């Protein structure tokens, strides 16, 4: 499987935040979810990788080409949906499209019209009158109408109702079914990724915590529940985090086989992506104290 994007050693500094030596890759044929809590660095990573803001160091390769010197060729092959959606509010959808379309060599008017119909968007409607969901669909129609091989989306489901979110997930599945494509999808609403992601990358405090196939990731962690007296100094070390209450404890671990060997009468359950994300954030905070 080829990689659509390869990022290595990426560093960027703001006054109070840094991306610290970030490396990851996006395989072709995968929907890759980019997860992290608010302020973890998702938007900064996407904007830096897309060349919308400068970096201190690092290599960025799309389709096996360095971004430096190949920006035009690369941008023709990427569809971008950023959460702020940079549109002129006074224009109609059709007028806005006429501003954007000439920037792409492979613009396909037929695809654009089909997406507008599919999303029930009226080309004569003014952008200022679009709801949040309609705005996202318009951004998606633009991003998907120039034969893009990679779709990059920053928090596309934030603020959308469950129906529109589920429509978006269907559109992504449909897009991927054409083959040879990739999607890179940042979000802190991990339930959407439980449904469609193939690969997951987690960022926390400007560092990559993991990159793993979703099914492998979910298989490698377990939630363990039991009575608190089963915990001791040694078994506690096997957990990323532990919550204790009058009813017992609940903890997340990557070492469930060791735990089962040392602790009898405990329950093991499969976690969600959110459980894994939060456990990793808590472990980092605990280690920082």
As given in the structure block, the two tokens for residue 16 are: 């109070």
CB of 60 to ligand ATP, least distance (A): 16
Three-class SS of residue 260?
A: helix
Backbone angles phi, psi at 22, to 5 degrees: -85, 130
241-274 residues labelled b (16+ CB within 10 A) or e (exposed): bbeeeeebbbbbbbbbeebeeebeebeeeebbbe
Give the nearer residue to ligand ATP in terms of CB position, either 54 or 179: 54
H/E stretch holding 207: strand 207-213
Residue span 43-62 as binding mask against ligand ATP, x where in contact by CB under 6 A, dash where not: xx------------------
Q: Is 284 in the site for ligand ATP (CB under 6 A)?
A: no
| Residue 162 C-alpha from the chain's centroid | 18
Question: Per CB under 6 A, does 38 bind ligand ATP?
Answer: yes
Instruction: Please report how close the Cβ of residue 40 comes to ligand ATP at its closest, in angstroms.
Output: 4
- How many residues comprise the chain? 289
Q: Which is nearer to ligand ATP, 164 or 203 (CB)?
A: 203
* Of residues 269, 244, 239, the one with CA closest to residue 254: 239
Taking residues 166 to 205 in sequence order and writing x for each that binds ligand ATP by CB under 6 A, - otherwise, the string is ----------------------x-----------------
> Are 204 and 284 a contacting pair, CB within 8 Å?
yes
Mark 131-170 with x for binding to ligand ATP (rule: CB under 6 A) and - for no binding. ------------------------x---------------
Candidates 5, 32, 35, 41; binder of ligand ATP (CB under 6 A) is: 41
Does residue 214 interact with ligand ATP by CB under 6 A? no
DSSP sequence for 61-88 = EETTEESTT-HHHHHHTEEEE-TT----
What are the E-state strand segments in 63-176?
A: 65-66, 78-81, 150-154
Stretch that binds ligand ATP, among 15-23, 68-76, 248-256, 275-283 (CB under 6 A): 15-23
Q: What is the smallest separation between the CB atom of 264 and ligand ATP, expressed in angstroms?
A: 41
Near ligand ATP by CB under 6 A: residue from 36, 133, 156, 182: 36
Residues near ligand ATP (CB under 6 A) are: 14-17, 36, 38-44, 155, 188
């Amino acid at each position: 499987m080829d990689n659509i994007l390869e990022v290595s050693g990426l560093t960027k500094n703001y006054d109070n935040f840094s991306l610290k030596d970030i490396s990851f890759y996006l395989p072709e044929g995968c929907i890759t979810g980019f997860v992290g809590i608010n302020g973890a660095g998702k938007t900064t990573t996407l904007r830096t990788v897309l060349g919308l803001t400068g970096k201190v160091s690092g290599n960025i390769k799309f389709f096996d080409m360095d971004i430096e010197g190949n920006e035009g060729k690369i941008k023709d092959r990427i569809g971008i949906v950023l959460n702020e959606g940079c549109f002129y509010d006074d224009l109609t959808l059709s007028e806005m499209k006429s501003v954007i379309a000439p920037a792409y060599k492979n613009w396909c008017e037929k695809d654009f019209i089909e997406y507008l119909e599919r999303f029930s968007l009226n080309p004569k409607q003014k952008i200022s009158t679009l709801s949040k969901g309609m705005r996202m669909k318009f951004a998606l129609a633009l991003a998907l109408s120039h034969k893009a091989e990679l779709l990059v989306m920053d928090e596309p489901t934030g603020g959308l109702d469950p129906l529109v979110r589920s429509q978006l997930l269907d559109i992504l599945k449909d897009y991927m079914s054409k083959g040879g494509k990739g999607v890179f999808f940042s979000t802190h609403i991990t339930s959407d990724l439980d449904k469609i992601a193939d690969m997951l990358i987690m960022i926390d405090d400007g560092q990559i915590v993991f990159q793993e196939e979703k099914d492998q990731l979910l298989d490698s962690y377990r939630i363990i529940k039991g009575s608190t007296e089963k915990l001791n100094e040694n078994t506690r070390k096997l957990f990323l985090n532990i919550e204790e209450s009058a009813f017992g404890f609940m903890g997340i671990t990557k070492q469930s086989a060791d735990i089962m060997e040392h602790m009898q009468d405990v329950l093991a359950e499969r976690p969600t992506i959110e459980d894994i994300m939060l456990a990793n954030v808590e472990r980092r905070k605990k280690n920082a104290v």
